[in-house]
Structure formats: structure tokens, C-alpha cells
């Protein structure tokens, strides 16, 4: 019984997978496999996986909520110099590491792994990188995580100025400016969610007006956590007004690090870099 992880990342437009190379005593020829290993008696499989990934790659991973189970019967498998009738149950999780994680390295001494490295998925699929069968099986089933998110945003105008917030390092596009707002929680009315988000990001009371339009975006890439996602964002754009006072960020360690009134000409000229939702909303307004 063993637990393994499919850990993906994106680099220079290519998707890569983190693999471990088996030691010569396990495989006489070069062979790469998923990081992971045996589950000890009484050990939670997720805990076992985190331990094994740390030993084989030196990285701290985050494990997803679901897994797939694979069964392999090997009547004539080599184990410690003997032929054995082996039955392997493999629990394979979706997992990820931070985008700024260091280069992988083997920590465990005299283990079953002698090297760990990122490999392009296309090189694995083509056979350029020799891998165990479980790698190709798992890649078929473990596609990038699909996430659809509904969010509400406020189009707040004051003469030529529009109220914008800047995305922090915790966001998917740090340094870019966007409209104040954010995700709608399950069961939450969009207008209520929007007023809450504006107060957190701008420190101002918000009165939500009419629905101005809908914007959406679809892309694949890293979430702030480091997870590869097939992301679809649906953005409800509302007209809104805010109370008097200077805007200031209230939420600590959130996805917003600055808020300001920005002249529309600075947005149109590109002097202030913004997400597409901003230019879309200004065209509607």
C-alpha cells in the first residue's frame, strides 16, 4: 500500500511534472516515477505522502482533497533479490508546491530514490524520459484542477477618476490594478458580497447599484498557492457609490495592497497597468 503525488508546475509556457529517479538497486535501467512511497501500518496516507515527498524531493507539498486508486498485480516482481508475487495498491493524489520552491533534491540517504527533478510532460508522453507505468496512467487522470469562480466588482466613478485596487503578492497577478470586489460565497447575495469586499479593500461604505454587465476570463496557470489550475472567472459588474473619506486597505495580508482613485486617461494610456476587467467595465460605463 503506497501513496504518490502528481505535482505539476508551469515554466516558460510548458507544463512540468516532478519525478523521482529510482535507485539502481530498484531499477537497473534509468526509471523515473511519482514521488511517494509506502504507507506504514496505522499511518494516514496523506501524512505518508507528505513525509515521502519531503524525503525524496526536499520540498513541502500541499495535498489535494481527492485521490485515485490504482491496482497492479505483478506475479513475478523483483524485491530484495527475490521474485515475489506482488499486489500493489497505489493511492495517487493531486498535490502542488509553492511557485518559489527551491530546486528539488533527495534528502533520504540510501533510499529507493537517487535523484529528483522537474520534467516536461511532453517529454514524458513522448518517451524521452523513461517512466514507470504508473506515471503515464496518473497523467491521463490527473489533469490541471478546474476552478470556476463567481465574483462581484464595483465600478465606482468620481468625475474622470475610477476607484481601483492593486493586487498583492498573494494574488494571481501581483502589481496589476483591478476593480474593488471579490468572490461571492456560497449562498451569499452578490450585492452583499460586493459591499463587504469594498469595505475590506477600500475602507469605505458601499452602496451597490444596478448590474452593469458580465465579464469572464478563462486561462490555465498557477494559483497563488502554486497549484496549476484551469481557471474560469465570471465577473458581475455593478455600478456603485462609496462614502466620503480617503480610501485605505483594511484587510490584512489579503490580495489587495493598495487602493486609489485613478484617472481614466492613465488606464487608457497604459500608465497604470490593469486587468482586462477594468477596461471592459469602463467601456460599459
Tens-place pLDDT, residues 87-146:
999 999 999 999 889 999 999 988 899 999 999 999 999 999 999 999 999 998 888 888
Place of cell 467601456: 283
What's the average model confidence in pLDDT over 67-81?
A: 87
Distance CA 18, CA 245 (A): 50
pLDDT over 80 (residue 79) = no
Is 145-284 a domain of CATH 3.90.79.10? Answer: yes
pLDDT confidence of residue 30? 96
Intrachain domains 2-141 and 145-284 with the same fold: yes
What's the average model confidence in pLDDT over 262-285?
A: 96
Tell me how many degrees the CA angle 214-217-223 measures, rounded to the nearest 5: 130
Residue pair 158/242 in contact by the 8 Å Cβ criterion: no
pLDDT confidence of residue 253? 83
pLDDT band at 77 (very low <50, low <70, confident <90, very high): confident
Q: What is the CATH number of domain 2-141?
A: 3.90.79.10
pLDDT confidence of residue 277? 97
Query: Considering the entire predicted model, what is its pTM?
Result: 0.72
Average pLDDT, the chain: 93
From 51-55, 134-138, 192-196, the region with the lowest mean pLDDT: 134-138
Domain boundaries, the chain: 2-141, 145-284
Residue pair 265/200 in contact by the 8 Å Cβ criterion: no
Amino acid at each position: 500500500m503506497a501513496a504518490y503525488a502528481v505535482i505539476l508546475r508551469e515554466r516558460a509556457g510548458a507544463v512540468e511534472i516532478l519525478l523521482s529517479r529510482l535507485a539502481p538497486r530498484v531499477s537497473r535501467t534509468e526509471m523515473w516515477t511519482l514521488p511517494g512511497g509506502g504507507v506504514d501500518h496505522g499511518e494516514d496516507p496523506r501524512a505518508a505522502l507528505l513525509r515521502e515527498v519531503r524525503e525524496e524531493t526536499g520540498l513541502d507539498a500541499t495535498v489535494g482533497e481527492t485521490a485515485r486508486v490504482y491496482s497492479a498485480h505483478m506475479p513475478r516482481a523483483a524485491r530484495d533479490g527475490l521474485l515475489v508475487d506482488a499486489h500493489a495498491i497505489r493511492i495517487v493524489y493531486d498535490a502542488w508546491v509553492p511557485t518559489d520552491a527551491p530546486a528539488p533534491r533527495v534528502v533520504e540517504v540510501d533510499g529507493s530514490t537517487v535523484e529528483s527533478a522537474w520534467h516536461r510532460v511532453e517529454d514524458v508522453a513522448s518517451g524521452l524520459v523513461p517512466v514507470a507505468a504508473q506515471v503515464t496512467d496518473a497523467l491521463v487522470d490527473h489533469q490541471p484542477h478546474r476552478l470556476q469562480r463567481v465574483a462581484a466588482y464595483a465600478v465606482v466613478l468620481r468625475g474622470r477618476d475610477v476607484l481601483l485596487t492593486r493586487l498583492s503578492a498573494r494574488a494571481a497577478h501581483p502589481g496589476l490594478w483591478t476593480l474593488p470586489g471579490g468572490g461571492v460565497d456560497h449562498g451569499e447575495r452578490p450585492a452583499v458580497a460586493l459591499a463587504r469586499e469594498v469595505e475590506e479593500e477600500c475602507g469605505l461604505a458601499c452602496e451597490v447599484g444596478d448590474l452593469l454587465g458580465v465579464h469572464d476570463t478563462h486561462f490555465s496557470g498557477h494559483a497563488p498557492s502554486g497549484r496549476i489550475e484551469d481557471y474560469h472567472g465570471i465577473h458581475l459588474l455593478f455600478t456603485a457609490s462609496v462614502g466620503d473619506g480617503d480610501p485605505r486597505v483594511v484587510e490584512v495580508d489579503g490580495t489587495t495592497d493598495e487602493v486609489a482613485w485613478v484617472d481614466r486617461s492613465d488606464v487608457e494610456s497604459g500608465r497604470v497597468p490593469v486587468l482586462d476587467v477594468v477596461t471592459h467595465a469602463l467601456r460599459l460605463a
